[in-house]
């Protein structure tokens, strides 16, 4: 048996919904995309949702909508997928990282506070902070937003792990503590569209800019034209945009998946409770879950003894058919970023985390037998 670390759950209804689109009129962005946007906006309690072909695209357009440019600085968590940082580089901005909290694995509030204070003194405050809800565990949005406001910094939530998560009684995606929230629908995430992403916001102007940027910067709305219309065929390109559209095929799958999201997350919580109990006596750190929030449990990350020991445990698990993974290599350690001069010494918690983290298999369709295989293998690896 071979147990992957993540896997999509596709039902017959999901398949029928996609087949219906294939028999219909629209394949690229059409009414199914609009329906999916409306469903996600309703689910999260945000007024505007803009579907795109990936979360990476959504992060890029979120930065552009906030006017991030070549003289600006973007900060994000040291432990995240590279896309949380790359979006800043796409805009020509300088990227820097904030160390993590070793309990939550989210951005450290005290490190962030100190970094803001130093940046103010040195005159290099960031224009945008990208907060990552790592593993689906909501970051401390309220104090983070307060800090960012004090220093005039806009906030984007990279909620690629966190659709379905809740913070202080509101869904992640409601954008009460950020300018824009971004979701990913990659197959390893909580719900999938194959490839896909979405940006949510409460700000109609940001929503409109992201809609324009998603499709070449072209508008067909006469209210937005700069010149007079030439006739019924007329449209105008009023800014430089991209083709980041989602297809109706993908959106139909997304809408079907969204119907089951709470079931998926309940299943993840049941599996996490099993892991918590079965691994309690072993020499490892289990993931923290904040009592005041509901994690979407995209990942279940354990931490084992550092360095060589982690590698031995990882290799033993892989050899046992448990396809564990490491999320993530600290972004500043990648050659592309290393060449910009970051020093691992600046991020002691991220280094410590990276030396010890292993992501165990976690997905709604993980069977009891498969989970038992994982639990037995972890037990053997650590005995």
Q: Which residues bind ligand PLP (CB under 6 A)?
A: 54-56, 80-81, 83-84, 132, 158, 160-161, 184, 186, 197
Helix (H) or strand (E) holding 170: strand 170-171
CB nearer to ligand PLP: give 327 or 373: 327
CB nearer to ligand PLP: give 60 or 313: 60
At closest approach, how far in Å is the CB of 77 from ligand PLP? 9
Angle between helices 12-23 and 248-259 (to 10 degrees): 150
At closest approach, how far in Å is the CB of 186 from ligand PLP? 4
CB nearer to ligand PLP: give 54 or 371: 54
CB nearer to ligand PLP: give 57 or 320: 57
At closest approach, how far in Å is the CB of 88 from ligand PLP? 13
β-partners of residue 48 are 201
At closest approach, how far in Å is the CB of 81 from ligand PLP? 4
Cβ neighbours of residue 279 closer than 8 Å, sequence gap 6 or more: 286, 302, 375, 378
Give CA–CA dist 194/197, Å, rounded. 10
As to burial, measured by CB atoms within 10 angstroms (0-12 exposed, 13-18 middle, 19+ buried), residue 173 is: buried
At closest approach, how far in Å is the CB of 366 from ligand PLP? 19
At closest approach, how far in Å is the CB of 268 from ligand PLP? 15
Give CA–CA dist 357/332, Å, rounded. 17
How far lies 318's CA from each of 74, 185, 312, in Å? 36, 26, 10
β-partners of residue 154 are 128
CB nearer to ligand PLP: give 84 or 108: 84
CB nearer to ligand PLP: give 200 or 377: 200
């Amino acid at each position: 048996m071979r147990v992957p670390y993540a896997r999509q759950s596709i039902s017959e209804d999901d398949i029928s919904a996609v087949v219906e689109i294939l028999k219909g009129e629209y394949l690229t962005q059409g009414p199914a995309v609009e329906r999916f946007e409306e469903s996600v906006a309703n689910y999260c309690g945000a007024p505007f949702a803009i579907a795109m072909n990936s979360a990476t695209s959504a992060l890029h357009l979120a930065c552009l909508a906030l006017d991030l440019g070549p003289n600006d600085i973007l900060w994000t968590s040291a432990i995240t997928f590279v896309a949380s940082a790359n979006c800043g580089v796409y805009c020509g901005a300088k990227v820097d990282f904030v160390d993590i909290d070793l309990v939550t694995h989210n951005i450290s509030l005290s490190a962030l506070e100190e970094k803001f204070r130093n940046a103010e003194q040195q005159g290099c405050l960031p224009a945008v902070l990208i907060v990552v809800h790592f593993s689906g565990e909501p970051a401390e949005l309220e104090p983070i937003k307060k800090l960012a406001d004090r220093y005039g910094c806009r906030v984007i939530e990279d909620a690629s792990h966190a659709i379905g998560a809740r913070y202080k009684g509101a869904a992640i995606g409601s954008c009460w503590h950020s300018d824009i929230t971004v979701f990913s629908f990659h197959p390893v995430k909580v719900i999938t569209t194959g490839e896909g992403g979405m940006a949510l916001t409460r700000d109609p102007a940001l929503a409109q800019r992201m809609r324009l940027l998603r499709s070449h910067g072209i508008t067909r709305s006469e209210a937005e034209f700069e010149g007079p219309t030439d006739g019924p065929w007329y449209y105008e390109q009023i800014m430089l945009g991209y083709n980041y559209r989602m297809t109706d095929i993908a959106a139909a799958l997304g809408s079907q998946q969204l119907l089951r999201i709470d079931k998926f997350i309940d299943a993840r919580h049941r599996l996490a409770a099993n892991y918590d109990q079965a691994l309690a006596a072993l020499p490892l750190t289990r993931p923290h879950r904040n009592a005041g929030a509901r994690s979407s449990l995209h990942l279940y990350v354990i931490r084992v003894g550092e360095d060589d020991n982690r590698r031995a445990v990882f290799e033993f698990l892989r050899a046992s058919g448990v396809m564990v993974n490491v999320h993530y290599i600290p972004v500043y350690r990648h050659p592309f970023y290393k060449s910009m001069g970051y020093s691992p010494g600046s991020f002691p918690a991220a280094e410590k985390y990276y030396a010890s983290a292993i992501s165990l298999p976690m997905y709604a369709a993980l069977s009891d037998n498969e989970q038992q295989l994982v639990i037995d293998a972890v037990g053997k690896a650590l005995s």
